[in-house]
């Protein structure tokens, strides 16, 4: 089986690559590429994202045909795709970081700044926080509710359809931190930086 991590120059993804390789232990072929043919022929795709919503969308658009290839993979062929951090946020129709920017549109909704309640909550939301699993998601198999995950973000996904939400975390409000919609999965937290529990989530995705 081939799992491809999309490398579209969106920042340092070495920890994502290392954790997937650690979990795969040579049983699964982990590729890191922006080659469209290799992405198309993959069984599963991972879309990481670091930086701002706009910078990640721009980086995707800078690679000719990449957005179309991802659309074909996830929405036409219904193959499993995991978005991490801004990778998840880009599932939305629109993001408001820097300037209004169109997202991939896979999940109806927007990405907006976390309400820090006039400075009561520091931004970015950074460090370990508990997650509240609100639906039986395939990637949470064997993961205990209220497990701690590692976060670094100032913006949150606000989906119109709450049925896609698989976990939330409490920071200023109930923030969506994981989604599952058919074959599309996303985590706002970083599973690759979330110790053994994060590796379990990666393992669950690989074994879907």
Q: Is 200 helix (H, G, I), strand (E, B) or coil?
A: helix
Examine the residue annotation and report whether 98 is marked as an active-site residue of this protein. no
Binned at pLDDT 50, 70 and 90, residue 107 comes out as very high
In which domain, by residue range, is 121 found? 2-206
In this prediction, residue 26 carries a pLDDT of 83
Taking residues 19-37, report their average pLDDT: 95
Percent of the chain with pLDDT over 90: 97
Question: What pairs with residue 84 in β-bridges?
Answer: 187
Domain count, the chain: 1
By the 8 A CB rule, do 98 and 54 touch?
Answer: yes
**pLDDT at res. 11:** 83
Active site residue 148: no
Those residues with Cβ within 8 angstroms of residue 17's Cβ, 6 or more apart along the chain or in another chain: 5, 30, 32
In order, the DSSP letters of 49-80 are --S-HHHHHHHHHTSTTHHHHHHIIIIIS---
Spatial separation of the C-alpha atoms in residues 38 and 41, rounded to whole Å: 5
Token pair of 169 as six digits: 């975390």
Would the pLDDT of 170 be above 90? Answer: yes
For residues 103-128, give the mean pLDDT. 96
158 phi, psi to nearest 5 deg: -120, 95
Lowest mean pLDDT among 4-8, 75-79, 116-120, 137-141: 116-120
Give the model's pLDDT for residue 22.
96
* Burial class of residue 64, CB neighbours in 10 A (0-12, 13-18, 19+): exposed
Sequence-distant (6+) residues with CB within 8 A of 183 are: 74, 78, 79, 80, 81
Q: Is 85 a catalytic residue?
A: yes
Q: Give the pLDDT confidence score for residue 10 in this predicted structure.
A: 84
Q: Pick the catalytic residue from 97, 156, 180, 192.
A: 192
Asked if residue 143 has pLDDT above 90, the reply is: yes
Q: How many CB atoms lie within 10 A of CB 119?
A: 7
56, 85, 156, 180: the catalytic one is: 85
Task: Answer whether residue 15 shows pLDDT above 90.
Answer: yes
State the CATH number of the domain containing residue 184: 3.40.50.880
């Amino acid at each position: 089986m081939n799992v491809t991590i999309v490398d579209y120059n969106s920042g340092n993804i070495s920890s994502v690559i290392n954790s997937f390789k650690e979990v795969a232990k040579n049983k699964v072929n982990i590729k890191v590429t922006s080659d469209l043919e290799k992405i198309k022929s993959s069984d599963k795709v991972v879309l990481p994202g670091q930086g701002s919503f706009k910078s990640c969308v721009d980086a995707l658009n800078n690679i000719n045909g990449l957005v179309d290839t991802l659309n074909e993979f996830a929405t036409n062929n219904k193959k499993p795709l995991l978005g991490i951090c801004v990778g998840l946020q880009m599932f939305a129709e629109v993001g408001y970081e820097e300037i209004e920017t169109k997202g991939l549109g896979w999940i109806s909704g927007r990405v907006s700044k976390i309400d820090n309640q006039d400075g009561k909550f520091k931004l970015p939301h950074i460090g370990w926080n508990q997650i509240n699993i609100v639906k039986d998601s395939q990637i949470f198999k064997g993961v205990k509710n209220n497990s701690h995950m590692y976060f670094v973000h100032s913006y949150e996904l606000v989906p119109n359809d709450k049925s896609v939400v698989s976990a939330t975390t409490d920071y200023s409000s109930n923030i969506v931190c994981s989604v599952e919609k058919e074959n599309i999965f996303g985590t706002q937290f970083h599973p690759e930086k979330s110790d053994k529990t994060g590796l379990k989530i990666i393992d669950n995705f690989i074994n879907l």
